[in-house]
């Protein structure tokens, strides 16, 4: 069974700082990996998808890297803004059944 | 991309009753899943909704408690049966092919 760990569990930074969110997973046989954002009481918004053959993916201020062999992914958020405050979830999708597994998330607070 | 509409968005139900949650995707998708998110926790997969056949349930979830239908490639329902306060959670529908998208969730409170 895929186990996903996200570190840190929570992060509080002043506006403008860069954020680094770490994710590790136990089964490297993945199809792809998605990063999601969840606002309190809401559903999930997909931020980035990295294919298993890719090393990184970028969208605006967001950059995600993937080291499949070591079971790690990192989400970088540049020049953070108060609107970035949310919980960020890492979800690798296993190759044999295409299911997403979720970590507990990193809750980010960006202070104005 | 796919847009997933889920309803109801929230409900308050009495113990012992059942609630059916609907999930509509704006395009045909291969895979649909149902998740539960208990207060303060991450998402747990309930089942994979299979088009035209019985859903595939994860360990700890059974069809009698969480019957699922998927009559076509754009629609699925999850019923939470014989509810108890322990069923109070957010229930989320997900669908897609290469990328998975999520509905906005159903916040269920059982009294």
Binary contact (B100, A43; C-beta < 8 A): no
Give A3's contacts (C-beta < 8 A, 6+ positions apart).
Answer: A25, A26, A27, A101
CB contact under 8 A, A34 and B104: no
Residue B98 at interface with chain A, using a CB cutoff of 8 Å: yes
pLDDT at residue B39, rounded to an integer: 86
Q: Does B90 touch chain A (CB under 8 A)?
A: yes
Q: How far is B18 from chain A (nearest CA, A)?
A: 22
The Cα A41–Cα B59 span in angstroms is 26
pLDDT tens-digit map of A17-41:
999 999 999 999 999 999 999 998 8
Taking an 8 Å cut-off on Cβ atoms, the answer to whether A34 and B43 are in contact is no
Residues in chain B with CB shorter than 8 Å from the CB of A34 are 99-100
Asked if A66 and A54 touch (Cβ cutoff 8 Å), the reply is yes
Q: Smallest CA–CA separation between B102 and chain A, in Å? A: 6
pLDDT of residue B49: 95
| Contacts (Cβ under 8 Å, ≥6 apart) of A60 | none
**pLDDT for res A95:** 87
pLDDT for res B20? 98
Total CB pairs under 8 A between chain A and B? 47
Residue B93 sits at the vertex; the CA angle it makes with B2 and A109, to the nearest 5 degrees, is 85
CB distance A105 to A89 below 8 Å: yes
Q: Count how many residues are written for chain B.
A: 111
pLDDT in tens, A52-71: 999 999 999 999 999 999 99
What integer best gives the mean pLDDT of chain A?
95
Which contacts of A64-67 are long-range, i.e. CB under 8 A and separated by 24 or more positions? A64/A33, A64/A35, A66/A33
Question: Are A97 and A106 contacting, i.e. CB atoms less than 8 angstroms apart?
Answer: no
Tens of pLDDT, residues A88-102:
999 999 988 889 999
Q: Which of B42, B45, B104 sits opposite A105 (nearest CB)?
A: B42
- Count Cβ atoms below 10 Å from residue A26 Cβ, excluding itself: 12
**Rg, C-alpha atoms of chain B:** 13
- The pLDDT value given to residue B22: 98
Q: Are B45 and A99 inside 8 Å of each other by CB? A: yes
Q: Which chain B residues are within 8 Å of A36, Cβ to Cβ?
A: 102
> Which element (helix H / strand E) includes A2?
none
Nearest chain A residue to B38 by CA distance is A41
Supply φ then ψ for residue A27, to 5 degrees. Answer: -105, 110
10-residue averages of pLDDT along chain B (111 residues): 93 97 95 93 93 91 96 96 96 94 95 95
């Amino acid at each position: 069974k895929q186990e996903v760990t996200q570190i840190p569990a929570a992060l509080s930074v002043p506006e403008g700082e860069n954020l680094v969110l770490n994710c590790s997973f136990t089964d490297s046989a993945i199809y792809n990996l998605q990063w999601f954002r969840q606002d309190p009481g809401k559903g999930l918004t997909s931020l980035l998808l990295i294919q298993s053959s890719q090393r990184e993916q970028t969208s605006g201020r967001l950059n995600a890297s993937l080291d499949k062999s070591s079971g790690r992914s990192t989400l970088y958020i540049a020049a953070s803004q108060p609107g970035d405050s949310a919980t960020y979830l890492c979800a690798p999708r296993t190759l044999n059944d295409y299911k997403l597994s979720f970590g507990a998330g990193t809750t980010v607070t960006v202070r104005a | 991309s796919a847009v997933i509409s889920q309803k109801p968005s929230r409900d308050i139900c009495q113990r012992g009753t059942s609630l059916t949650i609907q999930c509509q995707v704006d395009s045909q998708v291969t895979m649909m899943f149902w998740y539960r998110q208990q207060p303060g926790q991450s998402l747990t997969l309930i089942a994979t909704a299979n088009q035209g056949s019985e859903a595939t349930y994860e360990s700890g979830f059974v069809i009698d408690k969480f019957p699922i239908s998927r009559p076509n490639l754009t629609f699925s329902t999850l019923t939470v049966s014989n509810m108890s306060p322990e069923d109070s959670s957010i229930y989320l529908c997900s669908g897609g092919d290469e990328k998975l998208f999520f509905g906005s969730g159903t916040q269920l409170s059982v009294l």
